[in-house]
Every structure is written in structure tokens, then in C-alpha cells.
A and B are shown apart, each in its own frame.
Chain A
Amino acid sequence: KAGVTQTPRYLIKTRGQQVTLSCSPISGHRSVSWYQQTPGQGLQFLFEYFSETQRNKGNFPGRFSGRQFSNSRSEMNVSTLELGDSALYLCASSDTGGPYEQYFGPGTRLTVT
């Protein structure tokens, strides 16, 4: 089986712009979770989607949003980018949802200038 794929792998944006990141889960997996990883804050949970519904949400501002399509692919969007949004964004998929056997993608490195 192919692993979790994330596109793009690297991205450079300017403050104030918006960005959309994509995550394709392992075939058959219905849950996709998103995490932000920064040197200062570490790994922080953004949100989880299961069967196209947001099931869990972390403590991030409304500028961070996501969605999941019927084929389980997920996108996350960050509007009005700030310098502090520079991070590695990781997505993880699982077949049952929740933390069981989450498989992580390689991440998208976002740099905001």
C-alpha cells in the first residue's frame, strides 16, 4: 500500500496570503488528522476529520480550517498568514479514527516571509 502523501512538500508564502495544503491518506483509511510542528511549540494537534466530518479540534484560531472529501483526501487552509505560521504541517491517517495506528506523512514545510 502507498503511504500517506502530502503536497506540496515545501512552500514559501508571504504574510497576509493564504495557503492550502493537501493530504492523501492510505487507501481505505477514513480518518485524517493534522498537526503543526514548530521548534518552539512542538507538535500540536490541529483537527481530525473522519468520514468528511470534523470530529476533533485543537486550540488554533479560526484562520486554520480544513475539510475532507468523499475519497478521504483532506485539505487544510490557513488564511491571512502570519510569520508564526511557519512550521512543518503533518497529516496522519488511520482506518478507525483516533490515535490507533496513525500513519504520518512526510509533512509540508511552510515558510512565511
Chain B
Amino acid sequence: AQSVTQLGSHVSVSEGALVLLRCNYSSSVPPYLFWYVQYPNQGLQLLLKYTSAATLVKGINGFEAEFKKSETSFHLTKPSAHMSDAAEYFCAVSESSASKIIFGSGTRLSIRP
């Protein structure tokens, strides 16, 4: 069965610092992996997705993630945090293009001035 573990329910970084949000997955087949962002009182917005092409995936708003099969990880990074990055971030996995998405428990990102 597929699953996702996000390490750290809350991450706080200073403005301009590196953002690193951790995600590990479990899947019996090559997975599709996603990062979504949710701002308060809004739905989810897709940041980026991995679908077995390049292992380094670039997304919107300067975010990127690297698929590491040996570590079963798909960590999200951004070189320099902005105040506008404060939100909830969800890592998700799916085992096929027509499968349901399994979401992680989410990581709330706070940015300190």
C-alpha cells in the first residue's frame, strides 16, 4: 500500500533562508509524487509533480524537489524563503495515472522576518 510521511508538522525559517520540507514515500510500484500548497481558507495548488521523467523537478514560485529512489524521498526545497511562502504544504503519492492520491499530514511553513 502506498503512503507518505512528512517529517515535521511545523517548520520555521527566516526570510531569505533555505526552505527544506521533508517527504518520504512508500509504494510498491514506481510512484507519481506531488507537492501541493494550501493558503488559509483556500484549496490546494499544485507546486510540482514527478512522473518518472527527470529526478529533479522544478515547480512554481521557485520551489523544486528531487526524487531519490534509494532513499524513497521527495524533499521540497527553495533557496530563499519569502514571507509569501507561509502556508501549509502537502506531499502526495499516487501509484498510477488513474489512481487516487494519498496525501501526507502536511507541514506548516512559517517565515520569520
Contacts and interface: CB of A to CB of B under 8 A. Distances in A.
Interface of A: 4, 33, 35, 42-45, 48, 55-56, 58, 90, 92, 96-107
A66 B41 CA distance: 24
Interface residues of B, number: 25
Contacts of A105: 43
B103 A100 contact: no
Given A42-B105, A43-B90, A99 B44 contact: no
A4 B46 CA distance: 14
A58 B90 CA distance: 19
B96 A4 contact: no
A96 B94 CA distance: 15
Q: 6 nearest interchain CB pairs?
A: A104-B43, A43-B103, A45-B100, A98-B98, A98-B97, A99-B94
Contacts of B42: 106-107
A74 to B, nearest CB: 15
A98 B49 CA distance: 13
A96 B32 CA distance: 15
B45 A99 contact: no
